[in-house]
Structure 1
């Protein structure tokens, strides 16, 4: 099965074209190598997906015939993403929300420097 189709079938991407675009941008790796959308995926392959500042690590268990329901995704892949990745993303989001309220517009250069300094120190 094609990589882009597999990622769409197991609901990591909403559409197949978004999955294809992620592959073309180099956000998807199969067994440690950057993969094209047409790369064939087989059971026991390990896929790394960079999405929303989190690097997901999944292992292919089986190949679905078509897009599966959310409850059935665990039959076709196993998620090995470390919990620290989710905690770090949550912490970054909280820091951003604390610093700037939603709707305040684009940060100035001074705001950006202060935000970078805050994130580095935490």
Structure 2
């Protein structure tokens, strides 16, 4: 699945175009490698690292979503990894 689509389905961004723009302009890491490609492929088990607001988020993808559902459903797509 595309990185921008997954970030949108997991409700980190309101729109897919915002997610794509963020990946293009910010330092987002997929399994430790910096990417600026919204079309980068992600799969379950991969680790994403990105700054969102004042926090650096480190998350492990658990599943790929079928749709952009409610927040409770979106929360099941990933596990938060403690950055400390």
- Provide the TM-score with structure 2 as the length reference: 0.89
* Equivalent in the alignment of 1:114: none
Unaligned runs of at least 5 residues, structure 1: 85-122
Which structure features the higher share of helix residues?
1
- Provide the TM-score with structure 1 as the length reference: 0.63
* Equivalent in the alignment of 1:55: 56
Q: How many Å apart are 1:53 and its aligned residue? A: 2.4
What does the per-residue CA deviation read over 1:2-51, in whole Å, with 9 as the maximum and x for residues that have no partner?
Answer: 00000000000111111111110133210111121000111100001211
The SS at the match of 2:60 is strand
Unaligned runs of at least 5 residues, structure 2: none
Q: How many Å apart are 1:58 and its aligned residue? A: 0.6
1:79 aligned onto 2:80: yes
Q: CA RMSD in A?
A: 1.4
The SS at the match of 1:17 is helix
Higher relative contact order (CA 8 A, sep 6+): 2
Hey, what's the Cα distance between the residues in 2 that align with 1:74 and 1:53?
Answer: 20
The structure whose Rg is larger is 1
The SS at the match of 2:76 is helix
Hey, what's the Cα distance between the residues in 1 that align with 2:54 and 2:34?
Answer: 17
Q: After TM superposition, which residue ranges in structure 1, 4 or more long, deviate above 4 angstroms?
A: none
* Equivalent in the alignment of 2:45: 44
